[in-house]
Chains A and B, each alone.
Chain A
Amino acid sequence: MPQTSSGTIPLRNFGRTGVKISALGFGGHHIGDAPDERTAVQMVHEAVDGGITFYDNCWEYRRGKTEVWMGAGLKGRRDKVFLMTKTCPHGRDASVALEMLEESLRRLQTDHLDLWQVHGMGFENDPELFIRKNGAAEALEKAKKEGKTRFVGFTGHKDPKVHLAMLATGFPFDSVQMPLNVFDHHFKSFEKQVLPELNKRGIAALGMKPLSGHGDAIRQGVITAEESLRYAMSLPVTTTITGIDSLEVLHQNLRIAQNFTPMGEAEMNELRERCKPEAGDGRFEVYKLSLRFDNPEARLAHGFPIDTQQSEVKDMLGEQTNTGHPFPEKLC
């Protein structure tokens, strides 16, 4: 992957579009864990100053709080960044997706996105629901044509097969987001099954979950945060999106990214071998195996039960507006 050093974090090509973005991306979900909006805004300011140009978000994170906070942080800096958010129809109509787009633009205080992705493709019938008549595919097409987004893509953390089925719909995606970390190499692997296909097609590959989700492997001492992040960033991806919930984590990530030198194949193989015994059954990648890490909105839209112990569900259920039906109810 060609790299040029501009600012302090390496920039890489966003697929074949000619656009360049930072090799480390700012994950939008965790900004909602900042103690207050002021801190969140400061995190965004420091991230922009530190050379992060890629900003991830999603319509359904924290009932909009993360988009609002990121929008506030990017005020006056919008033209310095590549802004992405996601839409969450979860199988519902294009009109649902487009209403979400308008709301995202308002919250993010911008008239256009750089990238708009369909969030959380994880159920096996998602590709079929996406490409159907009146499905979300039509919304992506329309938003791009109207200039409300420059590029379009999809995301998911569940199963490489679902990603491949999304690609098989033939829709012209500009980007695809997926979990990429050293444990993934050995278990239902996006690295092995999806990444080569994207590079072949010139679609921008966006890595996420570089610390394998909630960092259990790091807490248990199997791997360090730095090794884990460096591994993910050394793969042939456009960027690696990582969650940032505090200034400390931001500083740590900036330090790793600013001093980033890619691992060689030998070093990567050594790490793969070291992690293999604990990777083969997916114990550190529960997002591929359990509904626990699925999105409550997606579950509801698909008719799955929800786990009321999950923090995100608790957030959701704590909202007065929630009725226990797919959100937003008026759009269903």
Chain B
Amino acid sequence: MSGNTEWNRRSFLKGAAVLGATPLLAGGNMAETKKDDGQEIPSGSVPRKTLGRTGVQVSAMGLGGYHMGSVATDQLAMEIVAKAMDHGVNFFDNAWEYHDGLSEERIGKALRGKRDQAFVMTKVCTHGRDKKVAMRMLEESLRRLQTDHLDLWQIHEVVYENDPDLIFAPDGAAEALLEAKQQGKVRFIGFTGHKDPEIHLKMLSHDFPFDAVQMPLNCCDATFRSFETHVLPEATRRGIAVLGMKSLGGSGELVKHGAVTAEDGLRYAMSLPAATTISGVDTMEVLEQNLRVAVNFQPLDAAAMQSLRDQCRFLASDGRLELFKMTKKYDGKIGREQHHFPTEQQLPL
């Protein structure tokens, strides 16, 4: 870790900005961050990458849907989406269960009149329940997103060890994906999860025609229960597009604990062979920070990647910065309920 206070202070502020609201982040700090950077977003655009065997082109950085619901006002959310699109972002992540629908509603509103310029993804949140529940959620998502079809519909939060069994049970969520695709309501299908590479591999072992799979990818993951090592190559081998998330640990943990700067953390994730890196944005400052990295992005070379892995190795080695793998902290309320787990209040970590 650097002994340079200036470096630490700056990286902390940026890290805090990326995760949005931590109790330590006051408005004054945010202003200071902005003043400190003094850098313009370069002219140009976020590069496009191919979404697996679909051949569709998506922006190498995607806008995370969860944080859309955390943006202070509807108006600011609209401005964030517009600015992201101006710089070439076309991939929009979401989930039926984010902020009780607010995240989907905001994206729906922001994309009005621009739907055809966007690649819209949302996720279905059956958490083990049957096809009927999934199809009902799909209709609701389409309504909130003000569209007649999704570009990608994924099964959300496959994080419990018996989720694959429940999803592939007769009348389970897997059948819903196929039906929605047949009906033309979704172009592509996939699943997501942040917990364990083995659960992802179990999902893939069903040889189901997934078009995409979403997973945590960051420079600590390479050391600890690694999706990069175990799942990314398998998905790629199958022609399934990989979508990266949690590039900074989910809530900026990697940055806050000094493993990596926000910029390097994003660069690492974006340099992996994933179709896009989904990053949550809840203020204009965070968007600008992300765009400064993503516009005209050039992947890091192998040596630079290895050096970032090495730099993070010690802090990564027991999973302390990847709490989504280690604890219940990032496991959603509905999933816990469906699996009869204690609530967040009863089980805070």
Contact = CB atoms under 8 A, between A and B. Distances in A.
A307 B346 CA distance: 11
Given A123-B318, A292-B349, A280 B326 contact: no
Given A187-B161, A291-B327, A302-B320, A283 B347 contact: no
Interface string B330-349: 00000000011110000111
Interface in B153-193: 160-163, 165
Contact of A302 (B318, B341, B349): B318
Contacts of B347: 286, 290, 292
Interface in B274-330: 315, 317-320, 326-328
A43 B348 CA distance: 34
A324 B230 CA distance: 37
B196 to A, nearest CB: 9
B161 A280 contact: yes
Interface in A270-284: 278, 280-283
A123 B319 contact: yes
Interface string A175-190: 0000000000001100
B317 A125 contact: yes
Contacts of B162: 280-281
B161 A309 contact: no
Nearest to B257: A303
A124 interface: yes
Nearest to A291: B349
B37 to A, nearest CB: 30
Contact of A278 (B160, B163, B225, B340): B340
A286 to B, nearest CB: 7
Nearest to B317: A125
Contact of B342 (A123, A124, A125, A286): A286
B224 interface: yes
Nearest to B338: A281
A290 B328 contact: yes
Interface string A190-205: 0000000000000000
**A-side interface mostly:** loop
A216 B315 CA distance: 34
A289 interface: yes
Nearest to A290: B328
Contacts of A286: 328, 341-342, 347
Interface string A281-310: 111001001111000000000111101010
A123 B318 CA distance: 5
**B-side interface mostly:** loop
B101 to A, nearest CB: 26
Given A123-B319, A303-B320, A309-B348, A282 B161 contact: yes
B317 A188 contact: no
A305 B349 CA distance: 9
A286 B349 CA distance: 11
A124 B225 contact: yes
Nearest to A126: B318
Contact of A307 (B225, B315, B348): B348
A126 B348 CA distance: 24
Contacts of A304: 320
Interface residues of B, number: 22
Contacts of A292: 328, 347-349
Nearest to B336: A283
A252 to B, nearest CB: 26
A303 B315 CA distance: 9
A125 B165 CA distance: 31
A123 B340 CA distance: 26
Contacts of A282: 160-161
A222 to B, nearest CB: 10
B328 A289 contact: yes
B165 A280 contact: yes
A304 B319 CA distance: 9
Nearest to A161: B225
A162 B70 CA distance: 38
Contacts of B225: 124
B22 to A, nearest CB: 13
A305 B320 CA distance: 9
B161 A290 contact: no
A309 B347 CA distance: 9
Given A283-B339, A283-B340, A307-B348, A290 B327 contact: yes
- Which of the listed residues B165, B328, B347 has the most CB atoms from chain A within 10 Å of its own CB? B347
A302 B315 CA distance: 9
A141 to B, nearest CB: 24
Nearest to B335: A281
Contacts of A303: 315, 320
A188 to B, nearest CB: 7
Nearest to B159: A281
A307 B349 contact: yes
Nearest to A128: B317
A128 B223 CA distance: 13
B159 to A, nearest CB: 9
Given A282-B161, A283-B340, A290-B328, A124 B224 contact: yes
- Which of the listed residues B328, B342, B349 has the most CB atoms from chain A within 10 Å of its own CB? B349
B246 to A, nearest CB: 18
A283 B161 contact: no
B64 to A, nearest CB: 24
21 contacts: A123-B318, A124-B317, A124-B319, A125-B317, A125-B318, A278-B340, A280-B165, A281-B162, A281-B339, A286-B328, A286-B347, A290-B328, A290-B347, A290-B349, A291-B326, A292-B347, A292-B348, A302-B318, A303-B320, A304-B320, A307-B349
Interface of A: 123-126, 128, 187-188, 278, 280-283, 286, 289-292, 302-305, 307, 309
Given A124-B224, A283-B339, 6 more contacts: A280-B161, A282-B161, A283-B340, A302-B320, A303-B315, A303-B320
Interface of B: 160-163, 165, 224-225, 315, 317-320, 326-328, 339-342, 347-349
